[in-house]
Structure 1
């Protein structure tokens, strides 16, 4: 498949859609290697990943659910259960983190953008491998320093849920054409 076709056919595939087929270590390494070749200004390579499998996923689900219970303005048992189960429904969860350049040579937004491009590389590679993926950035990520041992200047930007899936994904669409978003000068 051409890269343009992969880009156009990539979709978010949610944990509830995943089957129980495992993702191999070789597949995970392919995803992470693809991420490592994202563009980065001044070669700061700010992306950092924490790969959670097995019991680590259950621990993450429990931590997030309990943090939700502790901090929610209005508690919902349904949402608590959903938060707790999402990691368990996934074959792998990758915490998407960003390490700020200690020298502060470039604006933070550029490092966030580079990390997002690394995730897009992983997402496109996952799609090519028939691995479903979904990036979630819940408000609870602001508490991840209590779960992970984050380095100074490292922040968690979200979770990349991964799992194999059955069936065919829906065709994509956009709300407006590129012509409506482009000005030719």
Structure 2
């Protein structure tokens, strides 16, 4: 049932991943699910860059170096994390959004469509026992120096992915009823 899949979707972080690689066919299934996200005016703004093998290491080095270069007082634990997250992942997908060149709709709608594409990927990963974590460090503003992005495209973060042992963390939410107001017909 889809509701159970939605309830079981969690952030699973790179240190929890094991060494099992994610096969290309599995990644293609995940990306196919992303491609069916809702999109206003059919702009299909999502763009993804899949990094595996040595490209993960290159991403980690780039992020670590850019952090040390731009942060006035870099913290070594954070620099290590920026390097290690890609290395610990079975795959990293850079999440990007291509702005409609004619700007026929507000940018937030294209960001929202891209986020829905990521949710589709995340749900398929959950069904397949693959953990995910969407990270959007401030360094994403520099990704045009690393990725072959087009004009009008910007990076929204990274989906770190990997198989993991054990159960995903338990999730909690406050009751939905606390966040909903019913506006019903008024008696005359």
| Aligned counterparts, 1:134-149, within 5 A | 134-149=133-148
Deviation of the 1:177 alpha carbon: 1.3
The ranges of structure 1 where at least 4 consecutive aligned residues each deviate by more than 6 angstroms after the TM superposition are none
Supply the distance in 2 between the matched residues of 1:21 and 1:150 (Cα, whole angstroms): 29
Q: What SS does the aligned partner of 2:96 have?
A: strand
Supply the distance in 2 between the matched residues of 1:102 and 1:131 (Cα, whole angstroms): 35
| Aligned counterparts, 1:107-146, within 5 A | 107-146=106-145
Q: Kindly provide the CA deviation profile for residues 16-35 of structure 1, in whole angstroms up to 9, marking residues without a partner as x.
A: 00000111111101100000
* 2:12 and 2:169 in contact (8 A); partners too: no
Q: Which residue of 2 aligns with 1:34?
A: 33
Q: Which residue of 2 aligns with 1:23?
A: 22
Supply the distance in 2 between the matched residues of 1:162 and 1:107 (Cα, whole angstroms): 30
Supply the distance in 1 between the matched residues of 2:93 and 2:85 (Cα, whole angstroms): 13
Selected match of 2:181 from 172, 177, 183: 183
Q: Kindly provide the CA deviation profile for residues 94-128 of structure 1, in whole angstroms up to 9, marking residues without a partner as x.
A: 00000000110000000000000000000000000
| Aligned counterparts, 1:1-185, within 5 A | 2-174=1-173, 176-185=174-183
Deviation of the 1:171 alpha carbon: 2.1
Supply the distance in 2 between the matched residues of 1:58 and 1:171 (Cα, whole angstroms): 31
Deviation of the 1:79 alpha carbon: 1.3
Q: What SS does the aligned partner of 1:4 have?
A: helix
Q: What SS does the aligned partner of 1:82 have?
A: helix
Q: What is the TM-score with the length of structure 1 in the denominator?
A: 0.97
Any stretches of 5+ residues in structure 2 without a counterpart?
184-188
Aligned residues: 183
Structure index of larger Rg:
2
Q: Kindly provide the CA deviation profile for residues 127-173 of structure 1, in whole angstroms up to 9, marking residues without a partner as x.
A: 00000000000000000011112101000000000000010123211
Deviation of the 1:73 alpha carbon: 2.1
Supply the distance in 2 between the matched residues of 1:78 and 1:125 (Cα, whole angstroms): 32
